[in-house]
Structure 1
Amino acid sequence: MGVGIDWAESFHDVALGRPDNGIVEQFRIDHTAAGVGRLIARCLELETDPADVRVVLETRHGVLVEALTDAGFTVLPVNPDLVARRRGPAKKKDDAEDARICCLLALDQFLELRKLIPHGNLAGELRSIARDDERAARDQRRLLNRLRADLLATFPAALTIAGDDLGSPVMLKLLATWPTHAQLAGAGTDAIESFARSSRHGWPDRFAARVADALTVEQLPVRDYLIRAKATTISLTATQLLALREARKSWERRMAELLLGDTRYGRAKQPRNPDPGKAIPGGDIYLSFPGLGDILAARIAGEIGDHIEQFDTPNGLQCYAGTAPVTRRSGRSELVIARRLAHNRYLGTAVHQWAFCTLTTSTWAREFYDRKITAGKAHHSALRALANRWLEILWHCLTKGIRYDEAVHIRNRSKTLQTATAA
Structure 2
Amino acid sequence: MYSIGIDWADAKHDLCILAENGTVHSAFEISNDQHGFDLLRKRLGRLNAPFRINIERTDGLLVDWLVRNGHAVYLTPPLALHHRRPRRSKTDQSDAYLLAHLLRIGETECRPLARRSDLVEYLRQLLRAYDSILQEQRRFGNRLIYLLKLYYPAALKAFCQPYRLIAMSFLERYPTPEAAQRVTLDELRQFLRDEKYRGQKLDLKVLELYDILQAPAPKADVQAGSVIHVQMLIPVLRHIYRSRRDLEKQIVHAFQGHPDAAMWLTIPGAQRLTAARLLAWIGDDRARFSTANVLQATAGTVPVTRRSGKSKSVEFRTACSHKIRKAVDDLSRQSVKKSNWARAYYDAQIERGHGAARAYRALGNRWLSIIWKLWQTQQAYDEKIHRANRAMHGQLQLTK
Shorter-normalised TM range: 0.7 to 0.9
In 2, the alpha carbon distance for the partners of 1:82 and 1:356 equals: 29
The total of aligned residue pairs comes to 392
Query: RMSD of the alignment, in Å?
Result: 3.2
The Cα offsets for residues 66-86 of structure 1, whole Å up to 9 and x where unpaired, read as 121112111111133544455
- Pair 214,87 (structure 1): closer, same or farther in 2 beyond 3 Å: closer
For 1:42, the equivalent position in structure 2 comes to: 43
Paired residue for 1:130, among 127, 131, 134? 127
For 1:274, the equivalent position in structure 2 comes to: none
Q: Percent identity?
A: 29
In 2, the alpha carbon distance for the partners of 1:42 and 1:95 equals: 19
1:43 Cα deviation (Å)? 1.3
- Pair 374,191 (structure 1): closer, same or farther in 2 beyond 3 Å: closer
Aligned pairs for 1:263-274 (under 5 A) are none
**Native 8 Å contact 2:22 2:101 kept in 1:** no
In 1, the alpha carbon distance for the partners of 2:138 and 2:217 equals: 27
Matched, 1:371 2:369: no
- Pair 210,79 (structure 1): closer, same or farther in 2 beyond 3 Å: closer
In 2, the alpha carbon distance for the partners of 1:292 and 1:138 equals: 22
Paired residue for 1:294, among 251, 263, 272? 272
- Pair 367,213 (structure 1): closer, same or farther in 2 beyond 3 Å: closer
In 2, the alpha carbon distance for the partners of 1:161 and 1:81 equals: 45
- Pair 128,304 (structure 1): closer, same or farther in 2 beyond 3 Å: same
Normalising by the residue count of structure 1, what TM-score does the alignment of the two structures yield? 0.81
1:46 Cα deviation (Å)? 2.6
SS of the residue aligned with 2:354?
A: coil
For 1:16, the equivalent position in structure 2 comes to: 17
SS of the residue aligned with 1:223?
A: coil
For 2:8, the equivalent position in structure 1 comes to: 7
**Native 8 Å contact 2:12 2:29 kept in 1:** yes
Paired residue for 1:327, among 305, 322, 332? 305
- Pair 387,35 (structure 1): closer, same or farther in 2 beyond 3 Å: same
In 1, the alpha carbon distance for the partners of 2:193 and 2:260 equals: 43
For 2:218, the equivalent position in structure 1 comes to: 220
For 1:272, the equivalent position in structure 2 comes to: none
1:295 aligned partner, one-letter code = L
2:230 aligned partner, one-letter code = I
Aligned pairs for 1:39-118 (under 5 A) are 39-46=40-47, 52-84=50-82, 87=85, 91-108=88-105, 110-112=106-108, 113-118=110-115
The Cα offsets for residues 11-54 of structure 1, whole Å up to 9 and x where unpaired, read as 2112234336832222222222322332233212335x8xx331
In 2, the alpha carbon distance for the partners of 1:177 and 1:312 equals: 59
For 1:27, the equivalent position in structure 2 comes to: 28
- Any unmatched runs of 5+ in structure 1? 262-278
- Any unmatched runs of 5+ in structure 2? none
Matched, 1:172 2:202: no
**Native 8 Å contact 2:329 2:364 kept in 1:** yes
75-84 vs 345-354, which deviates more? 75-84
192-201 vs 322-331, which deviates more? 192-201
In 2, the alpha carbon distance for the partners of 1:256 and 1:396 equals: 24
For 2:256, the equivalent position in structure 1 comes to: 260
In 2, the alpha carbon distance for the partners of 1:213 and 1:373 equals: 41
1:124 aligned partner, one-letter code = E
1:60 Cα deviation (Å)? 2.0
1:96 Cα deviation (Å)? 1.0
For 1:315, the equivalent position in structure 2 comes to: 293
1:95 Cα deviation (Å)? 1.2
1:317 Cα deviation (Å)? 0.6
1:303 Cα deviation (Å)? 0.4
**Native 8 Å contact 2:164 2:241 kept in 1:** no
In 2, the alpha carbon distance for the partners of 1:286 and 1:350 equals: 12
**Native 8 Å contact 2:264 2:279 kept in 1:** yes
SS of the residue aligned with 2:111?
A: coil
- Pair 330,215 (structure 1): closer, same or farther in 2 beyond 3 Å: closer
The Cα offsets for residues 74-133 of structure 1, whole Å up to 9 and x where unpaired, read as 111113354445555x5411111211222333444x555321123221111212222332
1:249 Cα deviation (Å)? 1.4
In 2, the alpha carbon distance for the partners of 1:144 and 1:85 equals: 37
1:242 Cα deviation (Å)? 1.9
SS of the residue aligned with 2:114?
A: coil
SS of the residue aligned with 1:417?
A: coil
2:94 aligned partner, one-letter code = E
In 2, the alpha carbon distance for the partners of 1:27 and 1:178 equals: 64
For 2:226, the equivalent position in structure 1 comes to: 230
- Pair 216,335 (structure 1): closer, same or farther in 2 beyond 3 Å: closer
- Pair 73,232 (structure 1): closer, same or farther in 2 beyond 3 Å: farther
Matched, 1:407 2:384: yes
Paired residue for 1:246, among 234, 242, 249? 242
1:316 Cα deviation (Å)? 0.8
SS of the residue aligned with 2:305?
A: strand
For 2:154, the equivalent position in structure 1 comes to: 157
- Pair 218,322 (structure 1): closer, same or farther in 2 beyond 3 Å: same
